[in-house]
Structure 1
Amino acid sequence: MSEQTQQRVTSGQRRVVVVGAGMAGVQTAVALRELGFTGAVTVLGAEPHQPYDRPPLSKAVLLGKAEGSAFDVEFEALGIELRLGCEVLGVRPDDREVDTAGSGTAPAAVPYDVLVLATGAEPLRLPGTEGVPGVHLLRTLDDTARLRPVLARQHDIVVVGAGWIGAEFATAAREAGCAVTVVEAADRPLSGALPAEVAAPMTAWYADSGAELRTHARVAHIEPGEVVLDDGTRLPAGAVVVGIGARPTTDLLAGSGIALGPHGEVLADACLRTSVPDVYAVGDCASFPSGRYGERLLVHHWDNALQGPRTVAANIVGDATGEPPVRYDPVPYFWSEQFGRFVQYAGHHAGADTTVWRGDPAGPAWTVCWLRENRLVALLAVGRPRDLAQGRRLIEAGAAMDPVLLEDPARPLKAATA
């Protein structure tokens, strides 16, 4: 540690550098100020745009109902330095420096005392399609800008992947009047997220909306104006949108010594610290051990990027004041708006031993609850926000439930405790 760095640490005027200007990065910077941190805070964002929220990109912004989704944060007033269009190339923990592309030929080093990795995740590309005209991803504001005229021209669109993002884009494309075919390699939508019996009722949503869903279908290659499947089927495609998942954005950590997991994610501890001193990781780029569920979780959802920064900020401030460390063990939560339905999920259903249905999955509103030893560990609510709100609190409390009472959709969830 340099003498200058040691002086800053000793005086309490540490410099925090946050890599990533998405929800997790911005909220970390804001939370530091809210908790009274008075040192320098710098946020490095690779995109040139003002930091923005991502969920509206696949909804209002995509359909032209909103021009953007910039965060309502007064960075200057909060004393937060925002460097946009600043690509981070690497991290050198021994020197406590971050290398950025800079403006010249040599990398520009940014010194830090505490580093927060909030690099997010990047969408997976369909092999062999990089640079192919008419093939799109949907993750950034620029992606949305490229897709809006596609919807306006009402192209025939092929969506590859029937996960959350594929369903949301298909919903928007149908609303825009496009003919939509969704191609899914598995036997059902959301195959990687939900059990077969829970995802199966969602298959009908596609046809109800006028979209065609093709399962057990794989893309062989893409030709101008067509998607060719591995069985030889040719689908007309004025545009192709790929939504087959995402991977943590951590390539920049090569050679840093920061430990990564099997999915390329940063392995954070229960306080969101990495394997390297004074380096934290938060949001989509990091996994963390959950005491609640007894396993390590990698959560690629908005609420995780909102909640985790409060833990990181509290621990950065606490390191200087001697406060005990704060552990991060949330009940994961996410939502999706698709085909006229509001879908919400809370918890983590892996390891559950009982599944309880509330309502008819063929109807407009129903809930699935997962129990482990009769304690509620997760639920999926379709058009039943009250179930979600009550269920989330019951999961946090580790409440024991009566499965028979739980089956009655007319009974409030909180009234079905054992």
Structure 2
Amino acid sequence: MSEQTGPESRSHQLQAERRIVVVGAGMAGVQTAVALREQGFDGPVTLLGAEVHPPYDRPPLSKAVLLGKAEGSAFDIDFDALGVELRLGQEATGLRPADHEVDTPQGPVPYDVAVIATGAEPVRLPGAEDMPAVHLLRTLDDAERLRPVLAAQHDIVVVGAGWIGAEFATAAREAGCEVTVVEAADQPLAGALPREVAAPMADWYAEAGVRLRTRARVARLEPGGVVLDDDTRLPAGAVVVGVGARPATGWLAGSGIALGTHREVRADDGLRTSAPDVFAVGDCASFPSARYGERLLVHHWDNALQGPRTVAANILGLTSAVYDPVPYFWSEQFGRFVQYAGHHTGADSLVWRGDPAGASWSACWLRGTQLVAVLAVSRPRDLAQGRRLIESATPMDPAALSDPTRPLKSATA
């Protein structure tokens, strides 16, 4: 039998000869490598990871790993069997699109296609860099450093009442620590949810025995304490900073790759960057959403899981794939399972399902009669059904939607 020499065979050969370098070994980077293999790419794939640990999942860090219920959260992936070259402890320091090379301390790494998947890095508290009692919670090493702090049941001050602050406060209380959460805004989750939805969540802190101080800023840190801007001194055997994260893109300085207002990589709807043969995915990249009519920057696990499939498809040219998901995330805090799907900016009405003072309820945002976002507190069916209704842009009946005894999927117009 003669060897195939048609256009399809030559195209496959060219694909197999391309070197793909994925920068970042978190969820987005790992899933990009997996998606490339699943979609048929059999050429060389190199995965660069800044940390020395094998790639791992981050959500368990603020839960099982932090509390000592698990030693780690490594991905169950055999990279050798997958045919992926994994280079750990090799941090990218620069990108030169004209030369098609990624710079690292170990030397340049050539590529035919590069994928930026470096995620986000936590915002640090000014002046706290060299203070051993001040902690972040972003990496496995961070969680390992915090485990003995919780085990010793220190008084802990958490700076920031966002998602990570609430999750850490939950774990610290479970460990028996005294916890105070300091928030500069007048409510928890001020940057993520509108006042009327976030306000009921403030009561969760007191119910869990956590002191929540809003409209409070840290003036300075002292050994054994935190001093607020009103001169109140809070005792603190440890301080945990959870005031947000920003895209980890400092290493792209001088690359010419277009960045957005939050220093994120500005990708197009196929997750291509402004540089040829360079894609970006996950927490470090924003993308235009036709569904919501604006550019989205999503710092959540599901985005890092879903985006790589679009990247792989567009690298391989199998389809002209467009990335326009319904964003989704979840949080476990103070005995509640909180889930969110969609994007509520641009909504013109809010419909409640249940009493927000109760144990379970949902908030639904509508634009006209279309459901655009849903927040479900211990109501997983509302979330699952709502997510599908958002995807299908099904018109809703607001009156029926407000009845928490009806399945959300039955509240269509």
TM class by shorter chain equals: over 0.9
> In structure 1, how many angstroms separate the alpha carbons of the residues matched to 2:337 and 2:166?
12
Q: Does the 8 Å CA contact 1:162/1:182 hold for their aligned counterparts?
A: yes
Pair 1:349–1:305, CA change in 2 (3 A): same
**Alpha-carbon distance in 1 for matches of 2:181, 2:376:** 24
Question: What RMSD in Å do the two structures reach over aligned CA positions?
Answer: 1.1
SS of match in other structure, 1:69: coil
Q: 1:73-222 residue pairs with structure 2 within 5 A?
A: 73-102=77-106, 108-222=107-221
Aligned mates of 1:189, 1:171 — CA distance in 2: 14
Instruction: Give runs of aligned pairs for residues 317-396 of structure 1, distance below 5 A.
Output: 317-318=316-317, 323-396=318-391
Deviations 1:100-126 (A, max 9, x none): 011xxxxx0100000000000000001
Q: Which amino acid aligns with 1:18?
A: V
Deviation at 1:130, TM superposition (A): 1.0
Q: Which amino acid aligns with 1:293?
A: Y
The CA distance in 1 between the partners of 2:316 and 2:98, in whole Å, is 22
- The DSSP-based 3-state class of the residue aligned with 1:76 is helix
TM-score (normalised: structure 1):
0.95
Corresponding position: 1:415 with 2:410: yes
Query: Is the CA contact (8 Å cut-off) linking 1:357 and 1:368 kept in structure 2?
Result: yes
**Secondary structure of residue in 1 paired with 2:71:** coil
**Equivalent residue of 1:38, what SS?**
coil
SS at match of 2:81: coil
What is the rounded CA distance, in whole Å, between the counterparts of 1:184 and 1:255 in structure 2? Answer: 36
Question: Runs of 5+ in structure 1 lacking a partner?
Answer: 1-6, 103-107
Give the corresponding residue for 1:4.
none
CA contact (8 A) 1:354 1:374 kept: no
Could you tell me which of 37, 52, 57 is aligned with 1:48? 52
1:265–1:287 CA contact under 8 A, matched in 2: yes
- Specify the alignment match of 1:66 in structure 2: 70
C-alpha displacement of 1:10: 4.0
Secondary structure of 1:150's aligned partner: helix
CA distance in 2, matches of 1:29, 1:9: 19
Partner SS for 2:93: strand
1:397 to 371, 392, 396: 392
| CA distance, structure 2, for counterparts of residue 258 and residue 95 of structure 1 | 14
- Opposite residue 341 of structure 2, the aligned amino acid is A
- Measure how far apart 1:38 and its partner are: 1.1
Q: In 1, Cα distance between the equivalents of 2:250 and 2:337? A: 35
TM-fit CA distance, 1:127: 1.2
- CA–CA separation in structure 1 for the residues paired with 2:83 and 2:402: 52
Q: Secondary structure at the match of 1:336?
A: strand
The offset of 1:133, in angstroms, is 2.2
Whether the aligned pair in 1 keeps the contact of 2:15 and 2:41 (CA below 8 Å) is no
Q: Which letter does structure 1 place at the counterpart of 2:355?
A: D
Instruction: Quote the residue 2:269 is aligned against.
Output: 270
User: Structure 1: which amino acid aligns with 2:398?
Assistant: P
Given that residues 57 and 75 in structure 2 are in contact (C-alpha distance below 8 angstroms), is that contact kept between their aligned partners in structure 1?
Answer: yes
Gaps of 5+ in 2: 1-10
Contact 2:16 2:44 in 1 (8 A): no
Q: Aligned-pair distance for 1:317? A: 1.1
- Percent identity of the aligned residues? 77
Deviation by residue 1:303-337 (Cα, 9 ceiling, x = unmatched): 0000000000111111xxxx441000000000000
Do 2:118 and 2:249's aligned partners in 1 also have CA atoms closer than 8 Å? yes
| 8 Å CA contact retained: 2:124, 2:241 | yes
CA displacement, residues 69-107 of structure 1 (integer Å, 9 cap, x when unaligned)? 0001110001000000001110011000011011xxxxx
| 8 Å contact kept, 1:119–1:285 | yes
Does residue 260 of the first structure (1) align with residue 249 of the second (2)?
no
Equivalent position amino acid for 1:94 in 2:
A
Tell me the residue number matched to 2:7: none
Cα contact 1:9–1:113 (8 A) shared by 2: no
Contact map agreement 2:313 2:319 (CA 8 A) in 1 = no
1:237-256 map, 5 Å: 237-256=236-255
Name the aligned partner's letter for residue 207 of structure 1. Answer: A
- Separation in 1 of the partners of 2:267 and 2:400? 39
Q: 1:307 to 1:77 in 2, by over 3 A?
A: same
| 1:328-379 superposed Cα distances (whole Å, 9 cap, x missing partner) | 0000000000000000000000000010000001110000000001100000
CA distance in 1, matches of 2:120, 2:338: 22
Partner of 1:310: 309
Equivalent AA in structure 1 for residue 143 of structure 2: T
Match of 1:35 among 24, 39, 48: 39
When normalised by structure 2's length, the TM-score is 0.97
Report how far residue 13 of structure 1 moved: 1.4
- Say if 1:8 and 1:14, in contact at 8 Å, map to a contact too: no
One-letter amino acid of the counterpart of residue 325, structure 1: S
SS of residue paired to 1:62 = coil
Equivalent pair of 2:101/2:108 in contact (CA under 8 Å): yes
Partner of 1:15: 19
